[in-house]
Amino acid sequence: MIRASLVIIGDEILSGRTEDKNLAYLAQWLGKLGIHLSEVRVVLDDESDIIEAVNSLRKRYDYVFTTGGIGPTHDDITTDSIAKAFGVKTKIDDKALIKMKEYLAGKELTKPFLKMLYIPEGGELIYSPATKAPGYKIENVFVMAGIPSIMQGMLEGMYDYLEKGEVVHSRSFDIFVGESFFAEKLTKIQGRFTGLDIGSYPFSRDGKYGATIVIRSADENKLDVCEKEIQSLIKEY
């Protein structure tokens, strides 16, 4: 199984000012490639926190993605932190410098613009047809912007660098009764399957409790059999 993790970098997420939109997008995008998002950490714009998260996750998972903190302002410290996590310096990417000069078309290349051209030594810029701004990778760590539209463009560029796995299919069914009433029966259904996971996710809508039952497997035939059992469970209520 190919497993990935995500480090969301940004004080603004942890203060509750901004709601992250990248987790769900990345999870679904990776899911279609058969890559399982298996852990996410949200950390402050703090060098030691970023280093610890990246170093801990890059050993444990096949891929680490990061979002946020690669802009031009003083609080954008992701690239410097990732360089330190790998024990390398940062360097100006020559290809990026040429593209930036084209973009500026004679206007001054100020410090903030220059700052965004630095990436860790050993890293590689990843251009995408979907956006002008490139993300970059260093070993198994993929670095992206925090703004969702830019992040999504950068992610497209990373497609070719990722090994694809077996795609897990899922089907979901809503049941309008509290989980306590069907939990035992659901446990028995789960007991009859291997290589198929059943999850139950409770919700409250208009003051009434229910749950979404999700079945997941790489094997569509197993899903067919399980779906019939879930459908007949739902009919009981």
- The residues of the shown chain that bind its own copies, judged by CB under 8 A, are 10-20, 23-28, 31, 36-45, 49, 71-75, 110-113, 115-116, 146-147, 149-150, 170, 172, 179-181, 183-184, 186-187, 190, 197-204, 211, 214, 216
Tell me the pairing of strands 2-9 and 35-43. Answer: parallel
**Residue 122: CB minimum distance to its own copies, A:** 26
For residue 12, the tally of other CB atoms under 10 A from its CB is: 15
Contacts from 214-220 at CB under 8 Å and sequence distance 24+?
214/170, 214/171, 214/172, 214/173, 215/170, 215/171, 215/172, 215/173, 216/168, 216/169, 216/170, 217/168, 217/169, 217/193, 218/166, 218/167, 218/168, 218/169, 219/195, 220/169
**Residue 121: CB minimum distance to its own copies, A:** 23
Q: Which is nearer to its own copies, 74 or 87 (CB)?
A: 74
**Residue 10: CB minimum distance to its own copies, A:** 8
**Residue 187: CB minimum distance to its own copies, A:** 4
Q: Which residue has the tokens 């890293």?
A: 123
Q: Which is nearer to its own copies, 25 or 222 (CB)?
A: 25
**Residue 131: CB minimum distance to its own copies, A:** 11
Q: Which is nearer to its own copies, 49 or 88 (CB)?
A: 49
Q: Which is nearer to its own copies, 87 or 191 (CB)?
A: 191
Residue type, 137: K
For residue 229, the tally of other CB atoms under 10 A from its CB is: 18
**Residue 61: CB minimum distance to its own copies, A:** 12
Q: Which is nearer to its own copies, 70 or 125 (CB)?
A: 70
Q: Please tell me the distance from the alpha carbon of residue 56 to that of residue 65, in angstroms, as a whole number.
A: 13
Q: Which is nearer to its own copies, 88 or 190 (CB)?
A: 190
- How many CA atoms within 13 Å lie on the side-chain side of 106? 0
Helices (H) and strands (E) in the chain, counts: 9, 11
